[in-house]
Structure 1
Amino acid sequence: MSVTEEIAAFLSGANREDIPSTAIAPAKRHVIDTLGVAVGGRQTALAQPLAKTFPRGADGESFLWDGSGRTNAGDAALINGTLAHSLDFDDGGVALTPMHPSSPVLPAVWALCESAGRSGQDALAAYIFGVEVECKMAGAVSLAHYDHGWHATAVLGAFGAVSAASWLLGLNLEQIRTAIGITASMTGGLRANFGTMTKPLHAGLAARNGVMAARLAAAGWSASQNILETKKGFFDVFGCGEVSELNLGKPFHFDSPGVSLKRFPSCSATHHCIEAMLALKQEYGIGADQIDSIHCGVNVISHQALRKEPQAASAEEARFSLHFTLSMILLEGSVELKHFVPTMLARDDVRALMEKISVGVHPDLATLESKKRDFGEVAVTLKDGRKLSHRATRVRGRAPLFLTDADVDAKFLGCAEPALGVEKARGLLTALRRLESQEHLRSLLPAAYGLAR
C-alpha cells in the first residue's frame, strides 16, 4: 500500500470513536492554546495589512478568530491560520523535522465546521486526524527536507489541513487521494522568510489550501492518485527520502509521543538556551551589568533558523533572536509577549547587551543526526573574569515537561486578555472548555464575543 493510499484509507475509515481519551485530553489543550495565541495575534503588526487585503463583514461561512467579522471558509482558514502563527507562540511537533501542527489544521477544521454546521465533537475529531497525518509525516520524512530550506509547517501542514478537511467533508478513498494530489501542487514555504510576516502566512496558506483541495476533490476534480511516492511526486521533489509507512493511529500522536506547547513566545530554536540562561541567572544571580560576553551553542538546524546579527529591527526578527531573548532574561527577568515591542528593541541598555551575545553551532551538534540528542549551551564570561556555563537538555512544554491545563489557561489569558479584555477572554476560555458539548460550532465564538450568530 502506498503512503498516499495509507492516508486515504485511514481517513475514509476513521470514526470519532476510534480516538482514545488519552489523545482527546491533550488535543483540547492544544485547541485552547491555538485560539489563545491567534486572538493575541490581532495586536501584531501583520493584523492591519491582513485586514486590508481580506475583507470581512457580518455575513459569511466562517467567523474570524479576532472577532472582526465573517468571510468565506477559505479566507477564514487563511486569516485564522496566519494569526495563529503570528506570535510564533503556537505549538510544536516532537518529530525530528520541526513544525507547528495546529496553526495549519485547526483553522481549516473550524472554518469548515462553521460552514457545514458541524459539532464541537466533529471539530475535535477532525483536528486530531489532521494532526495525526502531518505529525506522522514529519516523523517519517528525512530531515534533509527541512535542511534544504522548506518550512515544514507550510509544506507538511497543508497535508494535515487537507486530511482534516477531507474527513469533515466525508470524502471517499479515491477523493481523498485526489485531495492529497491537489494539495501537493499547492504546498510550499521557504525558511528564508523566517523573521518576517510571511512566515506566519505559511500556516494560513496551508490551512486555506487544505480547505480548497478537499472541496475541489468533492466537486469532481482530478489529480494524481499516488502523488506522495510517485516519480517526480512530493517525496521525490521535496527531498523527503524514502517513506514507506506512517502507522497512522498506532498510537495517535497526541497520545504518544505527544505534541509540545510553547512556554516562551519565540522560535523554538531559542528555547534550550533560554532555559540555560534562566538556570544561570537563578543559580548565580547574575545581572546585565556583570556581563562581558555570552556565547550560545545550538544544533545546526536551530542555527540556520536563528538570527546571527545582534540587533533586531522588528518583533518578527526578535522572535528569532537569542541576542534579544537572553537580554530580556538578564534585564527583565523573563521572556514575555509584552517584551516584543518597538520601545523595548530601541532601549539603549537592550541594544548594548545584545551586542555582547553570539550564537554558533555547538561542536557536538554539527550534524543533522545530532538533533536527536538536542540541547542548548550558554557560556557566560563576567567582567570579573569568572566563566559560567549551563547545558539545558529539557524545555518546559516539551516531553516530559508538558504544560498542564492550568498552565494553558494562564497562557491563554495572557494572550487573549490584552486583546479582548478580561471578561471576554475569560468567557471565551469557558466556552472552549465546553467544546465537546457544542452542537453547532458556528455559534460558539460569536456568543463568546457577545455578537449575534
Structure 2
Amino acid sequence: MDAPASLAALPALAELCAAPVAPAERAAAVRPLADTLGVMLAGLADPRAADLAATLSLSAAPGRARLPGSNLQGAPADVALMAAFAAHLLDFDDDETEVAMAHLSAPVLGAVLALASCPETSVEALNNAYLTGCRMMLALGSMANPALYRAGWHATSVLGSFGAAAAAARLLALSPAQAAEALGLAASGAGGPRGAFGGEGKPLQVGLAAANGLRAAELAAAGWKAAPGVLFGERGLLQRMTGGALAPLRLPGAFPPPGFVTKLFPSCTATHAAVAELLALRARMAAPTAQILCAVDPFVPAILIPGLPTSPDAARFSLAYCLAVAARTGRLGPEAFEAAAFDALGPRDPEIRALMARVRVTADESLPRGPSGIATGAVVTLIAADGTRLTGRREAAPGSAAAPLSDTQLAEKFAACLAPVAPSSEARALWQRLLSPTDFPSAGALLDALPLALTDRKDPR
C-alpha cells in the first residue's frame, strides 16, 4: 500500500478512539481484564518492579495517579510504565497471534490504569477505554503485519504505543482531531526490537510503550501537533518499519478477536501448544520420558531462543526447557521460572538439563496457518526409556478461541499469580468479585480492592 493511500487511514483510526462499544464486548472483556490484573500483581511482587520504581518519580506521597496494587503515586506516564511493565514481566499476559501479533492487554491496560484511579471514572469507562486500545492495536496490525513482526519488530511495543494513546484519548475525551494528533505524536516514541526477547528489556519496552502513548494523548490534549506523515508518510514510522508493505486498513470485529490467547503457561505463546500436547501424552505414558520430538512452524525457531537458557527470561523462550520441565514435573507453572532454578550454566536441575539435550525440534509445513502466516500448533512425540512411543498433534494453544480455558483454570491461574501477596482463598474471592465489575461503584473502587504487591521502599507502612 503506497504512502498517500495509507495516509487516508488516519481519520478512520482517529474515529475509532470514540467508536461505540457494545455491551456484549464489555462483557467479553471482563475475564481478560481480571486475568491481566492478576498477572500485573504477580509482576509487581517481583523484585525487579521495585528496581524500576526506584528510577521513576513515584512515592507514597500524593500524586496525580496511583499505581494499582501498590501505595505508589506519581505522574500518569510513570504509573503507566510500571503497570504495563509488571503485566508483561512474567510473559503470562494474553496474546493475539494473528492480526496484531502482539500482547494486547499489557500496554493498553497500563495506560488505562494510570488514568482510571480517580473517583469519577466509572468501570464502564475503564472497560471502554481498554477495548478502544485493543481495537487500535488490531486495526494497525491489520495494516502492518505480518511484515512488521517478520522484520524483527516487537509488535507489542510498537503497536502498544498506539493502543495506549487511543485508550488514553478516550479517557481524556479527546476530539477525533486531537486523537489523530495523539497517534502521530506516539509515533515519535514507538519502537522495540524482537532482539530484546529473553531479557528484561522486553517488558521494559512494553512499559515504555504504555507511557509513550499516554503522554502523547496528554500532549495532544494540550494542543501539540504531529507532522502529517509521521505515521504513514513515505518517511513515516510504519512505512519504514514494514519496508512499505502496508496493507489496507481493516477495522476489527467483535472482541475478543479470533487470534486471542489467554495464557495457561508463563512462557512464550509459541511454546504453548507443544507443552499442552506433551502434558496430554505424558498422562498416558507409564514410563518416564527419555526423548522428545517436536515439530513446529518453520518460523517459530526465529521467535524462540536456542541453546541453554541461563535466566528465567531466556527460559520462557526456550522450547527445549519448557518441554523438559513439563515432561519431568507434569506442569509448567511460575515455579519453573524462579531465579533459584538457574545458575550461570543454565537450569540447576541435572535431569532437566539432560532431557533438554534429548529434545529435537523440526519444522512442519502442514500445521494450519491463520492471517499471520505462522502456525501456532505443534506435533509432539514422546519416547520412553522402555521404547514406548506416543505422538499427538495440537493445532491451537490452550486459552485460544479453539481451546478456551475453563473458569476453574482461570481462577487457579489468578490464585497462582497472587500467591506472593494473598492467600488462595482471598485470591479466589477477589477473582469472583472482578467477574462482576458492575458491583463496584467506580473504577477506583475496583482498583482499591486489589492487594498490595509493591510498596515504597522508603515508606514505613
TM-score by length of 2: 0.88
Shift of 1:226: 4.9
Where does residue 119 of structure 1 map in the other structure?
122
Which AA in structure 1 matches 2:31? R
CA gap 1:368/1:235 in 2 versus in 1, 3 angstroms: farther
Shift of 1:141: 2.3
Q: How does 1:201-280 map to 2 (within 5 A)?
A: 201-239=204-242, 241-248=245-252, 251-254=253-256, 256-257=257-258, 259-280=260-281
User: Is contact 2:156-2:206 (8 Å) kept?
Assistant: yes
Which AA in structure 2 matches 1:3? A
Where does residue 294 of structure 1 map in the other structure?
292
CA gap 1:197/1:137 in 2 versus in 1, 3 angstroms: same
- 1:78 aligned to 2:81? yes
Shift of 1:45: 4.8
Q: Quick one: distance in 2 between partners of 1:370 and 1:443?
A: 39
User: Is contact 1:150-1:189 (8 Å) kept?
Assistant: yes
Shift of 1:94: 3.9
- 1:371 aligned to 2:373? yes
Q: How does 1:424-443 map to 2 (within 5 A)?
A: 425-426=427-428, 428-443=430-445
User: Is contact 1:41-1:83 (8 Å) kept?
Assistant: yes
Where does residue 329 of structure 1 map in the other structure?
326
**Root-mean-square deviation over aligned CA pairs:** 2.6
More deviation in 406-415 or 424-433? Answer: 424-433
Q: Quick one: distance in 2 between partners of 1:370 and 1:193?
A: 21
Deviations 1:177-211 (A, max 9, x none): 11111111110011111011111112211111111
Deviations 1:229-254 (A, max 9, x none): 22111331110623322224xx3332
Q: Quick one: distance in 1 between partners of 2:249 and 2:99?
A: 16
Q: Quick one: distance in 1 between partners of 2:100 and 2:393?
A: 22
- 1:102 aligned to 2:105? yes
Where does residue 190 of structure 2 map in the other structure?
187
Q: Quick one: distance in 1 between partners of 2:318 and 2:97?
A: 22
Percent sequence identity over matched residues? 32
CA gap 1:447/1:200 in 2 versus in 1, 3 angstroms: same
More deviation in 172-181 or 83-92? Answer: 172-181
Q: More helix by proportion, 1 or 2?
A: 1
Q: Quick one: distance in 2 between partners of 1:275 and 1:193?
A: 26
Q: Quick one: distance in 2 between partners of 1:430 and 1:72?
A: 31
Shift of 1:260: 1.9
Q: Secondary structure at the match of 2:284?
A: helix
Q: How does 1:153-192 map to 2 (within 5 A)?
A: 153-192=156-195
CA gap 1:308/1:423 in 2 versus in 1, 3 angstroms: same
Shift of 1:11: 2.0
Shift of 1:74: 0.7
Deviations 1:95-146 (A, max 9, x none): 2452100000011011112258411110001111111111232233231211
Q: Quick one: distance in 2 between partners of 1:442 and 1:324?
A: 41
Q: Quick one: distance in 2 between partners of 1:433 and 1:367?
A: 33
Q: Quick one: distance in 2 between partners of 1:94 and 1:29?
A: 18
More deviation in 96-105 or 153-162? Answer: 96-105
More deviation in 116-125 or 59-68? Answer: 59-68
Where does residue 95 of structure 2 map in the other structure?
92
Shift of 1:411: 1.5
- 1:281 aligned to 2:312? no
Alignment partner of 2:29 out of 27, 30, 49:
27
More deviation in 271-280 or 149-158? Answer: 271-280
Which AA in structure 2 matches 1:242? L
- 1:135 aligned to 2:138? yes
CA gap 1:43/1:439 in 2 versus in 1, 3 angstroms: closer
Which AA in structure 2 matches 1:205? L
Where does residue 44 of structure 2 map in the other structure?
42
Alignment partner of 1:4 out of 6, 10, 27:
10
Q: Quick one: distance in 2 between partners of 1:237 and 1:370?
A: 20
Q: Quick one: distance in 2 between partners of 1:285 and 1:139?
A: 46
Q: Secondary structure at the match of 1:418?
A: coil
More deviation in 190-199 or 37-46? Answer: 37-46
CA gap 1:296/1:447 in 2 versus in 1, 3 angstroms: closer
Shift of 1:427: 5.7
Where does residue 310 of structure 2 map in the other structure?
313
Q: Quick one: distance in 2 between partners of 1:111 and 1:117?
A: 14
Q: Quick one: distance in 2 between partners of 1:449 and 1:339?
A: 24
Q: Quick one: distance in 1 between partners of 2:154 and 2:78?
A: 21
User: Is contact 1:180-1:213 (8 Å) kept?
Assistant: yes
More deviation in 120-129 or 397-406? Answer: 397-406
User: Is contact 1:32-1:408 (8 Å) kept?
Assistant: no
Q: Quick one: distance in 1 between partners of 2:105 and 2:91?
A: 12
Deviations 1:282-301 (A, max 9, x none): 2333414xx0x323222233
Q: Quick one: distance in 1 between partners of 2:271 and 2:229?
A: 38
